[in-house]
A and B are shown apart, each in its own frame.
Chain A
Amino acid sequence: MKAHRLLLPVLLASISSLSHAQTQQQAPDPAEAEYYKITTFPTPPGTALEVSSVELMPNGKIAVGTRRGEVWIASNAQKSTAQGIWNATTSTFEPDLAAPKESQIQYQRFAEGQHEVLGLAWKDDSLYTTNRYELLKLKDEKGTGHANRFETVCDKWGVSGDYHEYSFGSRPDKNGDFWILCCLTGSFSSKTPFRGWALRVKPDGTMVPTCSGVRSPGGVGFDADGEVYYTDNQGPWHGACTLQHLVPGSFQGHPGGNEWYKLAPNMGPRPEDPMDKSRMVTERAKIKELVPPAVYMVYGPGKIGNSSTAIICDQSEGKFGPFQKQIFIPDQSHSNVSRVYLETVNGVKQGVVFPFLKGLKSGPIGARMGTDGKFFVGGSDRGWGAKGGHPFAFERIEWTGKVPFEIHEMHAKPDGFEFTFTQPVDPVSASDPKSYTAREFTYIYQEKYGSPEVDDVLPKIESIEVAKDHKSVRIKLDTLTKGHIHEFHLDGVRSKDGKPILHPTAYYTLNEIPSK
């Protein structure tokens, strides 16, 4: 295994994930638990259910893929209320045997021996899995409950034995294609074809190299319109973790895999490499293929995360609470989930990330939400550590039915931002400039690992206008900075009945400033 070399000094953006210094095992936050409940499932005996992918199956069953190469089918996962109890001796979450049977989750093993299942998709009565070097179709033709056919759909990308060469597979996109996100070989290079690329696999198995510039994906998913995104992790050319829009033909920012343009004539000529120690906004002006991160998942203690993973769009039409069509992104290191609202400005995706929910039991990697609003998420802490404090976990997040007082959406405006809220605000606190603090910053776009937050701008709030219905606030700033992350703390804003905002922090990545 080739270790990737990190150059010192490594910058401070790789700051610690510790916001609760006291405890290694993170407990659910009582304030959050009032609105969103986490159920930690028991796990099957005799295995480490290191969940790396989750998919919904017919009849309410849930497929769970693991880093150890198993696929389990869980039944009763929607209704199961019995919490698993961690047993350090058996290293599993054991069922609470006192709980009634109807409240228990059940598992059946569907497949094993796969090379790290980082993608699961149900399509045409088959379960598709993505391993390190293949997209496979698994079928249970004999009806035994176990797969008997493992059919290779596509194996046209490389693998060399390096740990970093993970491959994440999507569910089918709106055209029925699968997206494969190939991690680089180590942090800097691509030793074998299409490492550092997003590939599409057509239903007939043909592979279309689709985006270059990928570094170290943590997940791939869709927004409500079916646009495709992936998360990338802080490292070389990534000042922080990011949510990236996979525009076909684009370059996503890390040039380490760009030699494979020679095998991808459909992509046109290899774009110019970005200049080291530059800024994203500068380089994207020069490199037309370069798509900026839609959202920076701001790094650091008490901020958003250190290791973004799955991309989950809420399409439950209200069953998961008031955030329809928004995107939820777990973080393996922080054992939390953040919430993203996206908009399109001048044809470019951009948006805001808010903290959403803490207290998962391990490092979430795979996740899936059904139209019933049940959010299944699981993961493992292996290799990097996770705040949740357990080696693996499989959990369900659900809305309690109570609407938290939160910033609902945040929209860029030519001279500032508009915030909307889940509940009417108290107009007095909401129109008081002291209720808000704002800062603008960006990251160095560089080959070195990570970046500090740089180029600080402290904007002045010029005016605040609370809408007549008290559901939104329009803020004008004296300056907006294209390419900067606009950080807001709405600590003083209160709801009509005097409550503070549950998560008053917002980080908006302003790739483009709208003209109106």
Chain B
Amino acid sequence: MKPLLPILLSTFLTGLSSPLLAQEPLAITLKTLTAQMKFDQAELLVAPGAKIRLTFENPDDMPHNVVFCQPGTNVEELVMKMLEKPEEAMKRNFLPDDPRVWLKSNLLNPQEKQVIEFTAPEKPGSYPYVCSFPGHAMSMKGILKVLGQGPTLTNLKFALYHGAWTKLPDFSQLTPHREGSVPDNLIQLNFDDYKNQYGLVFTGSLKVPNSDEYTFYTAGDDGVRLIIDDEVVLNDDGIHPAKIKEKKKKLKAGDHTVRVEYFQAQGQSELYVGWKSDRFDTTSLSKWTPANWKTPTAQKKDEFIGLPLDPKETPMIYRNFIAGAGNRSIGVGFPGGLNFAWSAETMNLALTWRGAFMDAARHWKNRGGGHQPPAGFDVLNPTNLVPPIAALDSGNATWPTFTADEPIEGYKWKGYTLDANGVPSFRYQWRGVEVEDKITASGDFKNPESKLVRNLKLNGTIPEKTFVILARNATFQPIQGGFFVKGEKINLPSGNFENQFSIQVEGATVIGNLLLVPARKEIQVSYSWPTAYNAHSHQSAK
């Protein structure tokens, strides 16, 4: 059989019971979240008396510390008490001098970190931790859980069968080849009788300490079934490598009957059964535990949960900091998965892309700073942040440039209007010419014919030798109705993009590395991607 699949793990300890690992301190990293007044983990899990190497990092822009307290400590009250003598507290860098505190970090400045080695308390329990810097305790706290091991099986018996199965047989209809007691009361496979084509049924008693909800785990190579009090809790039948399965179950305090059925076809054979509760850590009921396996903590890192913006029926507008589109960008996502960002700094189309529109988590889950790249793929930036219109002296093809926060000369941003379908028309003035720039999506992003169609309307007296720029810093290959453009590659935090596309337009000319069209009352341009989406879809995967 195949080797054990790679399995989930957390940053925490592995194999508590292993005497080898007990020598090596368990490495835990606790960080502050930037601009959220929170630690990145609200729960840390350690074994009683475990040696711990805690790396405490402060990437936030405020000072923070971490202070570990005895179980039952009201950390907010603790900080308040410290602040009853504010001068003293300040001298101690707001680290409480309180008998309820058993471990504390230094007060870390922004971007500092500290490594603290300590021995976890011997007594299982919930040990609160908190940042005791004034004003932080309200949200910046968590629990260090010291969990011991739970009960294991008693009175464990086994029955060994043989047969060539692809699924668990009905063992009640079969006669065991051999039966007996398991002296160490741990579920195990090494009965040495057979390597292949056998089955095992274990029965034992499990003393449940409290009426509570418990999580049970199995991993079998091959089929495994866990039955408690005649009820099937987990059923991972068939031939397969060992993979953790889990199921929650409420149990009353007292003795319960546990039955584990297992079969091995051929090749590798493994069997794991374990359980855990809020009061004890994951406890193996079998001799074997999957390597590097540890129950993942339920704690989600909120910072990393995305907030995808998904235009459903009408185009969606997202004015925010979009990477590659300047500081005053207006993202527009169409329901078919075609998207663009327009810049109210350059008055020009800044980016287009296919697939998902935007992830708003960066801006909507903390204080709103920073530039977020498009969520989709095939990002294009035809003109890479320059103004759209210029009057060029003859023979001079130097296009005006743009630097952030120097308003571009000759332009006045006037806002946008939405049509009945919610499609925006961007409006600005250039040297007295009123300009309207409207971009609509045609087709679905999965369709190779899909394109963005742009209509520019110029109303007013257009000076001589005025051009509209469609692309720059690129090579241009004439194609039917337009050009195939190979632009400079785009590097964004979300990936690197080829920046190759087709432009369909009437009357465009190439001057140097610019693709220009003489300014006129109405200009229609369409942008399309050269390949079907799936040819490129892997490219954006980071």
Contact = CB atoms under 8 A, between A and B. Distances in A.
B369 A162 contact: yes
A116 B367 CA distance: 11
A6 B371 contact: no
A136 B415 contact: yes
A233 interface: no
B410 to A, nearest CB: 15
A6 B135 contact: no
A interface: dominant SS: loop
Given A4-B61, A116-B368, A152-B413, A16 B83 contact: yes
B459 interface: no
B135 A306 contact: yes
Nearest to B60: A3
B29 interface: no
B93 A384 contact: no
Interface string B200-233: 0000000000000000000000000000000000
Interface string A1-35: 10111101111101111100110100000000000
A3 B109 CA distance: 12
Interface string A378-411: 0000111101000000000000000000000000
Interface stretch (B18-26, B247-255, B311-319, B466-474): B311-319
Interface stretch (A107-115, A240-248, A438-446, A505-513): A107-115
A442 to B, nearest CB: 16
Given A15-B83, A383-B36, A67 B90 contact: no
A15 B90 CA distance: 10
Contacts, number: 167
Contacts of A300: 83
Contact of A163 (B367, B405, B420): B367
B137 interface: yes
Contacts of B136: 16
B407 to A, nearest CB: 7
Contact of A113 (B80, B137, B317, B368): B317
Interface stretch (A153-161, A223-231, A277-285): A153-161
Nearest to A161: B321
Given A21-B77, A136-B415, A16 B137 contact: yes
Contact of A148 (B330, B371, B417): B417
Given A17-B135, A149-B417, A151-B415, A160 B61 contact: no
Contact of B327 (A67, A161, A382): A161
Interface in A144-190: 146-152, 155-156, 158-166, 186
A67 B363 CA distance: 9
A17 to B, nearest CB: 5
Interface string B68-109: 000000101101100100110110010000000000000101
A114 B319 contact: yes
A134 B412 CA distance: 13
B interface: dominant SS: loop
B63 interface: yes
B63 A10 contact: yes
A113 B327 contact: no
Q: How big is the B interface, by class?
A: 35 or more
B37 A384 contact: yes
A12 B60 contact: no
A433 interface: no
A382 B365 contact: yes
Contacts of B331: 113
A93 interface: no
A368 B45 CA distance: 47
Contacts of B316: 112-113
A433 B96 CA distance: 37
A48 B360 CA distance: 12
B61 A69 contact: no
B405 A160 contact: yes
B163 interface: no
Nearest to A191: B405
A193 B407 CA distance: 11
The 8 closest A-B pairs by CB, nearest first: A163-B369, A113-B317, A3-B61, A21-B77, A163-B367, A1-B369, A383-B367, A12-B86
5 contacts: A21-B74, A148-B419, A161-B370, A384-B37, A452-B87
Interface of A: 1, 3-6, 8-12, 14-18, 21-22, 24, 48, 67-69, 112-116, 131, 133-134, 136-137, 142, 146-152, 155-156, 158-166, 186, 192-193, 300-301, 306, 333, 382-385, 387, 452
